[in-house]
Amino acid sequence: MGKYAQIVIGPAGCGKSTYCNHLYEHCQAIKRSIHVVNLDPAAESFQYPVSLDVRDLVSLEDVVEELGLGPNGGLLYCMEYLEENLHEWLGTELEGYGDDDYLVFDCPGQIELYNHLSVFRTFVDFLKSDGWSVCVVYCLDAHFITDVAKFMAGALQALAAMVKLELPHVNILTKIDLLEDKRHLDDFLFPDPALLLPQLAASTGPRFKQLNTAMAGLLDEFSLVSFLPLDITDEDSIADILGQIDMAIQYGEDAEPRIRDEYEGGDEEEGDGDGGVDI
């Protein structure tokens, strides 16, 4: 077995920490060990036990108080400070983890951290160089599908993160259990830009026609963005998502099969034919 990690990202309020909590509870139920790491310097409380906490290195509260920055600027400062001290702090913290360990990184909600700045690309490169198999989990609130313009923006954000981080990538529509109308959900799980374009044009007006066409064309050209639904009231939902992530990072595929020789330490009985093994 190797070392495996999920990096859970997405806009603020999209359900990243809720996903981490239900993933932890699911793994506890199936007796699978995972460790959740908080990478949000602005976090205040957690439903899950935190194995590592970036606030031990830098916290938003301290930065705002000492430097007089606002919450957004303070968070950017915190993440840049993390990037500068990544090897010294995180490298030291991860020394206690080895083969068979599975980490889930719960990340802050500023999308520019994943789409534009270098901090998470540096973070990803560090994990890969240390031998971790990594998958990005991009969370998007299911409320986005109630407005096709918002959904297209969210899909483009996910695509930008995929291009920036260059990792196996699983997109999740969270809070499915809160949707009142699920009749058209499949249209957004596997979005066809050509089918969504008329809805987009109707909601934004004719002056945005060229922009809408360009956005739809971009999603269609890459053909990478699809979503898995997360319903926290359905245990099979989180199990299906975890299964997809496991396949993306090949979790457990390098484990040796357990083999038992039926004739260990003795001769075959007469008439048994070829010896065999149970796998």
Percent over 70 (pLDDT), the chain? 90
User: Does residue 73 lie within any of the structural domains?
Assistant: yes
Range of the domain at 131: 3-146+167-179+225-255
What pLDDT score was predicted for residue 96?
86
Report whether 40 contacts 107 (CB < 8 A).
yes
User: Does residue 88 lie within any of the structural domains?
Assistant: yes
User: Does residue 22 lie within any of the structural domains?
Assistant: yes
Q: Give the torsion sign (CA, 148, 150, 152, 155).
A: negative
Q: Tell me how many domains the chain contains.
A: 1
CATH number for the domain harbouring residue 35: 3.40.50.300
- Average pLDDT estimate for 1-11: 92
Measured distance CA(122)–CA(91) in Å, rounded? 13
Query: pLDDT tens, 84-127?
Result: 999 999 999 999 898 889 999 999 999 889 888 899 999 999 99
User: Does residue 15 lie within any of the structural domains?
Assistant: yes
Query: pLDDT tens, 49-64?
Result: 999 999 999 999 999 9
Query: pLDDT tens, 18-37?
Result: 999 999 999 999 999 999 99
Q: pTM for the complete prediction?
A: 0.87
Secondary structure (DSSP) of 114-168:
HHT-SHHHHHHHHHHHTTEEEEEEEEEEGGGGGSHHHHHHHHHHHHHHHHHH-S-
> H or E segment at 5?
strand 3-9
User: Does residue 16 lie within any of the structural domains?
Assistant: yes
Query: pLDDT tens, 208-262?
Result: 999 999 999 999 988 889 999 999 999 999 999 999 999 999 997 655 543 444 3
User: Does residue 190 lie within any of the structural domains?
Assistant: no
Measured distance CA(60)–CA(51) in Å, rounded? 19
Non-local CB neighbours of 270 within 8 Å, separated by 6+ positions: none
* Longest CA pairwise span in the chain (Å): 86
Cα distances (Å, whole numbers) of residue 219 to 62, 152, 154, 172, 229: 41, 9, 11, 17, 20
User: Does residue 70 lie within any of the structural domains?
Assistant: yes
User: Does residue 272 lie within any of the structural domains?
Assistant: no
Which residues does residue 229 pair with via DSSP β-bridges, in sequence order?
173
What pLDDT score was predicted for residue 183?
84
